[in-house]
């Protein structure tokens, strides 16, 4: 049974299949060549026999049929030798040139969660194999970053949830040791309300982060209208923090979900207001560049260092932890923003503002009309998907 499985597995290998194709091609070429040689030789023998009969001064007896049989048997023997020799040569040559694939397969089997960051290097491989190795290394790097982000998220989430719970537990333990007055009861209740509200905010933010995995209803969204609604809703907070908001608006429309985009821009503008200085300003600019919709939100706050500009989009990361907790932030707002924008195929970048502060730039790709989108959906639905499967190469010698 094991021998049968090995035979079946070897016949499915890329090396065996390529060798079989080469052998078939070689046999066809040799068969055609043998037939042409045999036919030409037979014609020459017939011509020689005819000439010998027509020459009276010579007496030549030719066994044409015997000579043809001899030539045919020799040709078949040569054909058999060439096919067998060519098959062996093809098998070993194919094995030599597919060895990089076997090495790549071996390296893939050895990769684990702890070794994702180590790139694979295969020397002596062709251009196609090198491109495959390059793509695989890029994929493992992305997976490594995702695992690292997941690990940081787990640690941060545990810390964020543990801190208020630990404070509450400590307060309760101290409170139980002796009798308390009504004022102390009121203080304990206020503390519990504060930290339970903080826990509730963290859990709500996590749920919102999960809910953005799907876009929901897709429609044409006028960004200028969304920005106007966000600014109107945040105007009381801006006045309380003595921060002015200036909007340079123009009609921009993208395909997406209105509620999710509102949530994303609300978080961006709210952060620009809350983490600003007194008498500061927030400038929102909307422009169209190469058919792309670009929205910039700049503030005059403390700014963000280059080292922090990528980390701020991770869950629970805070540039200023004390101020974030002061405003009741859970550190998930910008992570939620990036997730929403990614669902809309948009990008967000952070740069330094002049003379101080930060600039968030959101770029949406060119928007297709609703008719074109519907036509493409119908085209996709009417065609069947073709999956290409790549068989693993076995290293049979």
Percent of the chain with pLDDT over 90: 16
Q: What is the dihedral of CA 53, 55, 56, 57, to 10 degrees?
A: -130
Name the fold adopted by 127-210: Helix Hairpins (1.10.287)
Strands (E), the chain: 219-222, 244-248, 253-256, 281-289, 292-299, 347-352, 358-364
Closest-CA residue to 76 (of 39, 30, 29)? 30
pLDDT in tens, 130-184: 788 888 888 888 787 777 767 766 666 666 677 677 777 777 777 777 677 777 7
Token readout for 371 is: 């008719």
Tell me what pLDDT residue 393 has: 38
Least confident window among 38-47, 54-63, 344-353 = 54-63
CA distance 333 to 327: 12
Angle at 211 between CA 205 and CA 217, to 5 degrees: 135
pTM for the whole thing?
0.53
Q: Give the residue-averaged pLDDT of 177-193.
A: 77
Domain boundaries, the chain: 2-97, 127-210, 217-366
* CATH code reported for the domain at 217-366: 3.30.565.10
pLDDT in tens, 72-99: 777 777 777 777 877 787 777 777 777 7
Q: Kindly list the strands in the beta sheet with 244-248, ordered across the sheet, starting from the edge strand earlier in the chain.
A: 244-248, 281-289, 292-299, 358-364, 347-352
Residue 268 binned pLDDT confidence (cut-offs 50, 70, 90): very high
């Amino acid at each position: 049974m094991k021998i049968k499985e090995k035979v079946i597995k070897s016949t499915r290998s890329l090396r065996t299949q390529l060798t079989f194709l080469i052998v078939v091609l070689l046999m066809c070429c040799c068969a055609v060549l043998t037939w042409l040689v045999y036919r030409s030789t037979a014609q020459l023998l017939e011509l020689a026999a005819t000439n010998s009969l027509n020459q009276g001064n010579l007496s030549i007896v030719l066994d044409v049929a015997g000579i043809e049989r001899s030539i045919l048997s020799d040709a078949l023997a040569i054909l058999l030798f060439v096919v067998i020799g060519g098959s062996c040569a093809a098998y070993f040559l194919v094995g030599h040139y597919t060895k990089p694939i076997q090495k790549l397969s071996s390296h893939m089997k050895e990769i684990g969660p702890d070794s994702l960051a180590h790139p694979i290097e295969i020397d002596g491989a062709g251009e196609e194999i090198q491109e495959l190795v390059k793509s695989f290394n890029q994929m493992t790097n992305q997976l490594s970053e995702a695992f690292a982000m997941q690990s940081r998220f787990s640690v941060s989430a545990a810390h964020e949830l543990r801190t208020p719970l630990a404070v509450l537990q400590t307060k309760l333990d101290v409170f139980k040791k002796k009798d308390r007055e009504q004022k102390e009861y009121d203080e304990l209740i206020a503390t519990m309300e504060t930290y339970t509200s903080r826990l509730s905010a963290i859990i709500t933010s996590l749920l919102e982060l999960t809910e953005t995995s799907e876009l929901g209803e897709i429609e044409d969204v006028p960004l200028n209208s969304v920005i106007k609604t966000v600014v109107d809703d945040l105007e009381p907070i801006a006045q309380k923090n003595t921060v002015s908001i200036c909007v340079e608006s123009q009609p921009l429309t993208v395909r997406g979900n209105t509620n999710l985009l509102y949530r994303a821009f609300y978080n961006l503008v709210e952060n620009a207001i809350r983490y600003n200085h007194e008498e500061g300003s927030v400038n929102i600019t909307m422009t169209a560049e190469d058919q792309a919709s670009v929205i910039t939100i700049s503030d005059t706050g403390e700014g963000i260092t280059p080292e922090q500009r990528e980390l701020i989009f991770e869950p629970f990361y805070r540039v200023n932890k004390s101020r974030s907790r002061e405003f009741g932030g859970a550190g998930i707002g910008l992570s939620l923003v990036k997730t929403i924008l990614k669902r809309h195929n948009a990008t967000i970048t952070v740069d330094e503002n002049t003379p101080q502060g930060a600039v968030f730039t959101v770029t949406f790709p060119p928007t297709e009309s609703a008719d074109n989108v519907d036509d493409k959906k119908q085209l996709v639905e009417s065609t069947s998907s073709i999956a290409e499967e790549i068989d693993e190469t076995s290293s049979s010698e």
